A and B are shown apart, each in its own frame.
Chain A
């Protein structure tokens, strides 16, 4: 039946071509599914629904200033998630996420001796930025609570050093600034490189399988108060493309997320698990 090899278009018996390879980090993603979370279990005890949308882009370009190095980048814009939380409307909107990995053919550390000494450095450098993350949970407080994280920056090292942006594994430190409003009281919170972040993204050659996740935790300082608070959050997702409609892939995902004193403006702890479908438009490779 298939007329061509792995990552080219295939053709059916009538000669009509169709795509068999996709880029999971490319296109407009629209999805929804069922989820169960800790809050839901304590209130109604059943499943609820959720919907998500995001725009993803992948980039790759050779460095102009440093020979033998490549910038591999992943971008996510307007990542929106809507779901009921505590029986009321809940929204999470992340304006922009950018992951920039500089992959070098031969990684080295230059030691400033005389003469200079280079030693092998088997890690790629990665910079991750999350900008304008807004969370709103109507069920929290008197209904006016919100949280806004203007910026969250992570400096990561990638031990895999894959030449492809389909394989990322990075670990490093994180700094962040966050504003929360609880019962009309505005609070500034700063994470001064006192948190750690683990990020990974693995995709199959044809883009049908993908698993990715981000785990971040550390100590944050509420400005004007003494002491720091330990907070952590994480999300892991596995997705498999099952169908494509007009070459636009539809994948089933299984996602788990959790937060330790870091959910919503109230900084609550929670977990959730969801299963659903994601339609990704314009992601044909």
Chain B
């Protein structure tokens, strides 16, 4: 029967790439035809996903199921183009004209890679869209007291190596259709540091935080000079805003709640995909000192940077410097008027491995904080964090591309623009038969494919 099919399809035999070259990947952005071809040793069913390249005059055929021990198994391919038709222009032409057919690997969506067996895996991750939790070793050092001693009424702890950090939260981004504005959401982010003594404990949490940044096509600020010929100089200011609601911070026996914060932001630089930026942020917040039983104003100014260092989103570097000042705060004998906070942070995160396409990352960060708003924890505090973070969701990046070992296809030839609807038909068209040559080609090929499919089904049917 297989021999019959092969004969029916003429020379449509699938052969390996020449000279042991790696297999070509089908193109995810082109139509794929699911058609029967001559069975091969690895694909005895003869069912293939086929794309043809009109420039190379060559077709590529990939199995429709995952290979097990070099032969197709029962597991269907995952993450392929859902609609797999029976024929498309170039494919039909290839079959009709008996272009050579080469073994290939099925298509994979942008950000995903399909191996030789047909298994698909994510290789591009957007850590700006994830739900994460993690833990870290988080030693810290306070230079204002002897090691391992708590000064009466004062801070201090010296160097505390035995402290741990736990964290969880979610982040999401959306990109506008034109790709020039990104919205970032941080929700239910919480971090706790636990040490041998309550003075070592810290807790920070935020209910929701929002930021937006943009790449403007038109400069919002321009300068015209009237010295000589008038000239215009554009000053590209990418202005945005940020807001936060429900921020908690507990340390040293004090609890602070930020009801709301509203900031203006200015992106000093941002990458073309808007995933990376250097930004200045400033704005007021309404905060409450729970123990002091009073609400007050907390203006803040920040310089923040977030960098995705590689195309596939494996390496990330973040840094920030945030200054905050408390104004009209409740009086406290343990601190002065209008205390301040300075938070410096630099961190690096790298994807170590992906478990079921969920990334596990190594997180390193160093922090230096100075504050005089908490009487027991005045002054500098330095901490380091080394840990792991597991992320759910983490889809492919907004601008991810197809991943393949080598280019898949030649660029498609330019298509001629269709004539206008009211254009007069050429003389031969006016007297044309009911089917065009193209339609004839399509119907011929479809008939061929239908016949082959029918024979294949008959061969699979149990004998009476």
Chain A residues positioned under 8 Å from B218 (CB to CB): 16
Q: Is B221 an interface residue (CB 8 A)?
A: yes
Point out the residues of chain B lying under 8 angstroms from A244, CB to CB: 223-224, 226
Contact with B along A1-15 (1 / 0, CB 8 A): 110000000101010
B232 lies within 8 A of chain A by Cβ: yes
- Chain A nearest CB from B229 CB (Å) reads 6
At the interface, yes or no: A246 with Cβ under 8 Å from chain B? yes
Q: Which of A12, A14, A208, A245 contacts B231 (CB 8 A)?
A: A12
Please, which residue of chain A has its CB at the minimum distance from the CB of B224? Answer: A244
In the assembled complex, A243 has its CB within 8 A of some CB on chain B: yes
Say if the beta carbon of A20 comes within 8 Å of chain B.
Answer: yes
Q: Which residues of A contact B226 (CB under 8 A)?
A: 20, 208, 240-244
A257 CB, nearest partner CB in chain B, Å: 26
Let me know if B227 is at the binding interface, CB within 8 A: yes
Among B224, B227, B234, point to the contact of A247 (Cβ < 8 A).
B224
Residues of A within 8 A of B227 (CB): 242
Q: How far is the CA of A244 from the CA of B221 in the complex (A)?
A: 10
Contacting residues, chain B, for A221 (C-beta < 8 A): none
Residues in A with CB closer than 8 Å to B230 are 2, 10, 18, 20
Residues on B with beta carbons closer than 8 Å to the beta carbon of A129: none
| B108 CB, min distance to chain A CBs, angstroms | 39
Contact status A16-B232, CB under 8 Å? yes
Contact B224 A243 (CB under 8 A): yes
Contacts of A247 in B (CB 8 A): 222, 224
The answer for the CA separation of A2 and B224 in the assembled complex, in Å, is 12
Q: Tell me how many residues of A have a C-beta within 8 Å of chain B.
A: 18
Name the residue of chain A whose CB is nearest to the CB of B227: A242
A residues 208-244 in Cβ contact with B at 8 Å: 208, 240-244
A172 → B minimal CB distance (Å): 35
What are the residues of chain A within 8 A of B232 when measuring CB–CB? 10, 12, 16, 18
Please give, as numbers and ranges, the residues of chain A lying within 8 Å of B176 by CB-CB distance.
none
What 1/0 flags go to B202-228 for Cβ under 8 Å of A? 000000000000000011111111110
Q: Which of B222, B225, B229 contacts A246 (CB 8 A)?
A: B222
Q: How long is the Cα–Cα vector from A14 to B231 in the complex, in angstroms?
A: 12
B225 & A1 in contact (Cβ 8 Å cutoff): no
Within the complex, which residue of A10, A16, A19, A243 is in contact with B234, where a contact is CB–CB below 8 Å?
A: A16
Q: In chain B, residues 13-55, which have Cβ atoms closer than 8 Å to a Cβ of chain A?
A: none
Q: Assuming A1-B229, A2-B229, A16-B218, is B223 touching A245 (CB within 8 A)?
A: yes
CA distance A242 to B223 in the complex (A): 10
Name which of B224, B225, B227 has the most chain A CB atoms within 10 A of its CB: B224
* Contact status A246-B234, CB under 8 Å: no
User: Can you pick out 27 interface pairs between chain A and chain B where the beta carbons lie within 8 Å of each other?
Assistant: A1-B229, A1-B231, A2-B230, A10-B230, A10-B232, A12-B231, A14-B234, A16-B219, A16-B222, A16-B232, A18-B222, A18-B224, A18-B230, A18-B232, A20-B224, A20-B226, A240-B226, A241-B226, A242-B225, A242-B226, A244-B223, A244-B224, A244-B226, A245-B222, A246-B220, A246-B222, A247-B224
In the complex, besides A16-B218, A19-B224, A243-B226, 10 extra interface pairs with C-beta distance below 8 angstroms are A1-B229, A1-B231, A10-B230, A16-B219, A18-B230, A20-B230, A243-B225, A244-B226, A246-B220, A246-B222
Interface residues of A (CB under 8 A from B): 1-2, 10, 12, 14, 16, 18-20, 208, 240-247
> Which 8 A/B pairs are nearest by Cβ-Cβ distance?
A244-B224, A18-B232, A12-B232, A20-B230, A18-B224, A241-B226, A208-B226, A243-B225
